[in-house]
Amino acid sequence: MEVNKHISGQFNTELETIRSSVLAMGGMVEQQLSNALEAIHSQDIELARNIVETDLKVNAMEIAIDEECTRIIAKRQPAASDLRLILMISKTVTDLERMGDVADKLARMVVKNAGRTQPPLVSLDSMGRLAIKMLHDALDAFARMDVEAAVRLYHEDDNIDRQYESIIRELMTYMMEDPRTIPQVLDVLWAARSIERIGDRCQHISDYIIYCVKGKDVRHTKIEDVNSLG
Amino acid sequence: MEVNKHISGQFNTELETIRSSVLAMGGMVEQQLSNALEAIHSQDIELARNIVETDLKVNAMEIAIDEECTRIIAKRQPAASDLRLILMISKTVTDLERMGDVADKLARMVVKNAGRTQPPLVSLDSMGRLAIKMLHDALDAFARMDVEAAVRLYHEDDNIDRQYESIIRELMTYMMEDPRTIPQVLDVLWAARSIERIGDRCQHISDYIIYCVKGKDVRHTKIEDVNSLG
């Protein structure tokens, strides 16, 4: 009995440690994205180079957490709910790593385009802030394994999608009015696209949280049906 | 002893079944992508609608296989190499599902643009064939858990990337020469982008195969270092 308690105490510590690692990784990705917006805004090459370097750390964290997940499963042979938690962590870090790649890509764009005239980027910044806010909320929902907060994230993604559509229209007009700007504007288009994808990846994290808590896989479920779970 | 053999025999059957399911799902995605190229080429709305419907089946397969993975881990408590196999399957089906989404997206583009003038799509078709070939080879490598074949996939992706770059340049010229075509050409750009992403996803499958066989996580490893594993 004492031994069991001890083992399960150790196991709980391991689970807590790994959850903290996910939050640390998520916080780092949030900071990377925020720095990337700042680097775009102020055309700060030094900051951009820093982001590219830090992305290697983000990648290393993904692998380390994933290995820890495998190790815990092999060692602890966890049952249903703990197993679901570990599997969802393994998926979550993959999405976080890909969001980190977005910051890396934006930073490389700043380095590549250094010194050239920039197309208007104001609305990109505002969509970027929405995406970072959504990631922050996703990590919050993860920390508290909060299904209601996870469901709310779906609506945040709608806002990002709307801003994205309006940015695309804006940039399209810009290109049509002055076709010489097309190459630069396309870079902004790619940037907008990859920021929009952050919203989708945060939604994946929502799905994992709901799966983990409810034991129900809501990937590919309609929003109304997801709402009824909240 | 007999009992152990029996259990392990059942376990092997379960693993084989789940591997077959992954190959079946992969084959379906391959077909979906091939149909999508055909629907674009011949502007076949009926075929495009079929693809959108079939995507629901692909999504359902992802969830079913993933649930089976969780069930097997909980029931069999597999050790190192079997556990790695099951975890890599769970990641592989996510990438397959996202490749299925590309077919769905291309099909929706055909439906949306029905009856409008199309920009030139020849090179898109040729890049699409390369991507489907790469997926086919990735599934082959998965079926045989063949590390050498997995390493070769990295070079296939280089070819896709090169074609992608040339398509982007071609479309950019097209838009600059006739800015009125920008909205339609942008659709082709998105299509090219999502086909290019198939190559990246096939590379993820390579990484999982290498991880599974060698027990070494090669995500974010330089190509030269991966080659030395082959």
Q: What is the pLDDT along chain B (230 residues), one digit of tens a residue?
A: 455 556 678 889 999 999 999 999 999 999 999 999 999 989 999 999 999 999 999 999 999 999 999 999 999 888 878 898 999 999 999 999 999 999 999 999 999 988 777 766 667 889 999 999 999 999 999 999 999 999 999 889 999 999 999 999 999 999 999 999 898 889 899 999 999 999 999 999 999 999 888 877 667 776 666 666 54
> Residue B77: its chain A contacts at CB < 8 A?
77
Of B67, B83, B91, the CB nearest to A73: B83
Chain B positions contacting chain A at CB under 8 Å are: 56, 59-60, 62-63, 66-67, 69-70, 73-74, 77, 79-80, 83-84, 87, 90-91, 94, 168, 172, 175-176, 179-180, 182-183, 186, 189-190, 193, 217, 219-220
Q: Which residues contact A67 (CB under 8 A, 6 or more apart)?
A: B217
Asked whether the beta carbons of residue A83 and residue B73 sit closer than 8 angstroms, the reply is yes
Residue-level pLDDT at A123? 73
**Residue of A55, A21, A59, A56 whose CA lies nearest to A39:** A55
> Residue A219: its chain B contacts at CB < 8 A?
59, 62-63
> Residue B189: its chain A contacts at CB < 8 A?
186, 189
Neighbours of A38 (CB within 10 A): 16
**Residue of A221, A207, A224 whose CA lies nearest to A88:** A207
C-alpha span between A149 and A161 (Å, rounded): 19
Of B74, B83, B176, the CB nearest to A70: B83
Structure tokens at B34: 């091939």
CA distances from A19 to A68, A139, A143, B66 (A): 11, 10, 8, 22
Q: Which residue of A has its CA nearest to B180?
A: A176
Asked whether the beta carbons of residue A219 and residue B62 sit closer than 8 angstroms, the reply is yes
C-alpha span between A150 and A153 (Å, rounded): 5
Structure tokens at B104: 């769905």
Cβ A14 vs Cβ A85: under 8 Å:
no
Q: Which residue of A has its CA nearest to B175?
A: A179
Q: What are the sequence ranges of the domains in chain A? A: 2-227
Chain A positions contacting chain B at CB under 8 Å are: 56, 59-60, 62-63, 66-67, 69-70, 73-74, 77, 79-80, 83-84, 87, 90-91, 94, 168, 172, 175-176, 179-180, 182-183, 186, 189-190, 193, 217, 219-220
Minimal CA separation from B159 to chain A, in Å: 21
**Residue of B225, B205, B201, B222 whose CA lies nearest to B213:** B205
Q: Which residue of A has its CA nearest to B204?
A: A94
Query: Which ipTM did the prediction report?
Result: 0.84
Asked whether the beta carbons of residue B220 and residue A70 sit closer than 8 angstroms, the reply is no
pLDDT in tens, B156-193: 999 999 999 999 999 999 999 999 989 888 989 999 99
Q: For residue A136, count CB atoms less than 10 angstroms from its CB and return exposed for 0-12, middle for 13-18, buried for 19 or more.
A: middle
C-alpha span between A63 and A84 (Å, rounded): 19
Residue A221: DSSP 8-state: -
Of B175, B186, B217, the CB nearest to A63: B217
Q: What is the mean pLDDT of each run of 10 residues along chain A (230 residues)?
A: 65 94 98 96 95 97 93 88 91 96 95 78 84 98 96 92 93 91 89 95 94 77 62
Residue-level pLDDT at A230? 47
Q: A2-227 — its CATH code?
A: 1.20.58.220
Which of helix, strand or coil describes residue B184?
A: helix
